[in-house]
Protein backbone atom coordinates (compact mmCIF):
# COMPACT_ATOMS: atom_id res chain seq x y z
CA UNK A 1 0.00 0.00 0.00
CA UNK A 2 1.34 3.42 -0.92
CA UNK A 3 1.35 6.39 1.42
CA UNK A 4 -1.40 7.98 -0.67
CA UNK A 5 -3.57 4.88 -0.43
CA UNK A 6 -3.05 4.76 3.33
CA UNK A 7 -4.00 8.41 3.81
CA UNK A 8 -7.01 8.03 1.53
CA UNK A 9 -8.18 4.96 3.42
CA UNK A 10 -7.72 6.72 6.77
CA UNK A 11 -9.57 9.87 5.67
CA UNK A 12 -12.42 7.89 4.09
CA UNK A 13 -12.90 5.78 7.21
CA UNK A 14 -12.72 8.78 9.53
CA UNK A 15 -15.32 10.59 7.43
CA UNK A 16 -17.86 7.84 8.12
CA UNK A 17 -18.45 9.56 11.49
CA UNK A 18 -20.06 12.27 9.35
CA UNK A 19 -21.62 10.27 6.51
CA UNK A 20 -23.31 7.75 8.80
CA UNK A 21 -25.26 10.66 10.33
CA UNK A 22 -26.56 11.68 6.91
CA UNK A 23 -28.30 8.37 6.23
CA UNK A 24 -31.26 9.10 8.51
CA UNK A 25 -31.34 12.89 8.57
CA UNK A 26 -34.62 14.60 7.68
CA UNK A 27 -35.11 18.08 6.28
CA UNK A 28 -36.83 19.26 9.47
CA UNK A 29 -33.65 18.34 11.41
CA UNK A 30 -31.64 20.97 9.55
CA UNK A 31 -32.84 23.92 11.65
CA UNK A 32 -32.08 22.18 14.95
CA UNK A 33 -29.57 23.85 17.27
CA UNK A 34 -28.38 22.88 20.71
CA UNK A 35 -29.21 25.28 23.51
CA UNK A 36 -26.65 28.08 23.82
CA UNK A 37 -25.03 27.27 20.47
CA UNK A 38 -24.99 29.19 17.20
CA UNK A 39 -24.83 26.55 14.51
CA UNK A 40 -27.72 24.51 13.12
CA UNK A 41 -27.43 20.96 11.79
CA UNK A 42 -27.73 22.34 8.25
CA UNK A 43 -24.92 24.82 8.84
CA UNK A 44 -22.65 22.05 10.14
CA UNK A 45 -23.23 19.89 7.05
CA UNK A 46 -22.52 22.84 4.75
CA UNK A 47 -19.46 23.89 6.78
CA UNK A 48 -17.85 20.46 6.65
CA UNK A 49 -18.27 20.43 2.86
CA UNK A 50 -17.04 24.02 2.47
CA UNK A 51 -13.83 23.26 4.33
CA UNK A 52 -13.24 19.99 2.47
CA UNK A 53 -13.53 21.89 -0.81
CA UNK A 54 -11.14 24.57 0.43
CA UNK A 55 -8.64 21.83 1.32
CA UNK A 56 -9.06 20.20 -2.10
CA UNK A 57 -8.41 23.50 -3.84
CA UNK A 58 -5.99 25.41 -1.63
CA UNK A 59 -4.02 22.64 0.08
CA UNK A 60 -3.98 19.81 -2.43
CA UNK A 61 -4.09 21.88 -5.62
CA UNK A 62 -7.44 21.02 -7.23
CA UNK A 63 -7.69 24.32 -9.10
CA UNK A 64 -10.79 23.18 -11.02
CA UNK A 65 -12.84 22.85 -7.81
CA UNK A 66 -15.69 25.30 -7.47
CA UNK A 67 -16.17 26.51 -3.93
CA UNK A 68 -18.05 29.39 -2.42
CA UNK A 69 -17.34 28.78 1.27
CA UNK A 70 -20.34 30.67 2.58
CA UNK A 71 -20.07 29.29 6.11
CA UNK A 72 -16.43 30.32 6.34
CA UNK A 73 -17.15 33.76 4.90
CA UNK A 74 -20.15 34.45 7.15
CA UNK A 75 -18.50 32.86 10.22
CA UNK A 76 -21.96 32.20 11.67
CA UNK A 77 -25.19 30.44 10.83
CA UNK A 78 -27.31 32.58 8.53
CA UNK A 79 -30.27 30.20 8.65
CA UNK A 80 -30.14 29.38 4.94
CA UNK A 81 -29.02 25.74 5.16
CA UNK A 82 -32.45 24.11 5.07
CA UNK A 83 -32.55 22.23 1.74
CA UNK A 84 -31.52 18.66 2.48
CA UNK A 85 -31.14 17.55 -1.15
CA UNK A 86 -28.82 20.51 -1.88
CA UNK A 87 -26.74 19.88 1.23
CA UNK A 88 -26.38 16.17 0.51
CA UNK A 89 -25.38 16.88 -3.09
CA UNK A 90 -22.89 19.54 -2.00
CA UNK A 91 -21.25 17.33 0.62
CA UNK A 92 -20.97 14.54 -1.97
CA UNK A 93 -19.29 16.98 -4.37
CA UNK A 94 -16.88 17.90 -1.56
CA UNK A 95 -16.12 14.24 -0.86
CA UNK A 96 -15.61 13.41 -4.53
CA UNK A 97 -13.42 16.47 -5.10
CA UNK A 98 -11.16 15.88 -2.12
CA UNK A 99 -10.93 12.14 -2.81
CA UNK A 100 -9.98 12.77 -6.43
CA UNK A 101 -7.15 15.16 -5.58
CA UNK A 102 -5.84 13.01 -2.72
CA UNK A 103 -5.63 10.08 -5.15
CA UNK A 104 -3.35 12.17 -7.39
CA UNK A 105 -0.76 12.82 -4.66
CA UNK A 106 2.57 11.05 -4.93
CA UNK A 107 4.40 9.71 -1.90
CA UNK A 108 6.78 12.68 -2.18
CA UNK A 109 3.89 15.19 -2.26
CA UNK A 110 2.96 14.38 1.35
CA UNK A 111 6.13 16.09 2.58
CA UNK A 112 5.49 19.25 0.55
CA UNK A 113 4.79 22.29 2.76
CA UNK A 114 1.68 24.38 2.22
CA UNK A 115 1.03 27.75 3.86
CA UNK A 116 -2.47 29.06 4.52
CA UNK A 117 -3.67 31.97 6.61
CA UNK A 118 -5.98 29.62 8.56
CA UNK A 119 -3.35 27.23 9.93
CA UNK A 120 0.08 28.46 8.86
CA UNK A 121 2.65 26.17 7.29
CA UNK A 122 2.01 22.43 7.34
CA UNK A 123 3.05 19.49 5.23
CA UNK A 124 0.31 17.85 3.20
CA UNK A 125 0.63 14.90 5.60
CA UNK A 126 -0.15 17.22 8.51
CA UNK A 127 -2.95 18.83 6.51
CA UNK A 128 -4.72 15.50 5.99
CA UNK A 129 -4.72 15.13 9.77
CA UNK A 130 -6.20 18.59 10.04
CA UNK A 131 -9.10 17.87 7.67
CA UNK A 132 -9.77 14.53 9.37
CA UNK A 133 -9.98 16.16 12.78
CA UNK A 134 -12.05 19.08 11.45
CA UNK A 135 -14.68 16.79 9.95
CA UNK A 136 -14.76 14.55 13.04
CA UNK A 137 -15.08 17.55 15.37
CA UNK A 138 -18.07 18.96 13.52
CA UNK A 139 -19.58 15.49 13.00
CA UNK A 140 -19.60 15.20 16.79
CA UNK A 141 -21.42 18.51 17.04
CA UNK A 142 -23.88 17.36 14.39
CA UNK A 143 -24.49 14.10 16.22
CA UNK A 144 -25.26 15.90 19.49
CA UNK A 145 -27.48 18.39 17.70
CA UNK A 146 -29.50 15.69 16.00
CA UNK A 147 -29.82 13.71 19.20
CA UNK A 148 -30.57 16.43 21.76
CA UNK A 149 -31.90 19.52 19.98
Judge residue 105's burial from the number of C-beta atoms within 10 Å of its C-beta, 0-12 exposed, 13-18 middle, 19 or more buried. buried
SS3 112: coil
Spell out the domain ranges in the chain: 3-148
Closest CA to 83 of 20, 121, 29: 29
State the DSSP string of 3-40: HHHHHHHHHHHHHHHHHHHHTS--GGGTT---TT----
Distance CA 10, CA 84 (A): 27
User: What are the pLDDT digits (tens) for 73-97?
Assistant: 999 999 999 999 999 999 999 999 9
- Cβ-based neighbours of 77, under 8 Å, separated by 6 or more: 33, 38, 39, 40, 43, 71
User: What are the pLDDT digits (tens) for 41-68?
Assistant: 999 999 999 999 999 999 999 999 999 9
SS3 121: strand
- Cβ-based neighbours of 107, under 8 Å, separated by 6 or more: 2, 3, 4
CATH topology of domain 3-148: 1.20.120
Closest CA to 143 of 22, 10, 14: 22
User: What are the pLDDT digits (tens) for 95-121?
Assistant: 999 999 999 999 999 999 999 888 899
Judge residue 45's burial from the number of C-beta atoms within 10 Å of its C-beta, 0-12 exposed, 13-18 middle, 19 or more buried. buried
- Give the global pTM: 0.96
Mean pLDDT of 1-28: 97
For the chain, what is the mean pLDDT? 96
Amino acid sequence: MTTTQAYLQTWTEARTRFTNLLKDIKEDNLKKKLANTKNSAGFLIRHIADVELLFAKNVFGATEVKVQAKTVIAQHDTGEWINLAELLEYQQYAFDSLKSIIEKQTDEDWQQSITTKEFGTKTKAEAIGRIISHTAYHAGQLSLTLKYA
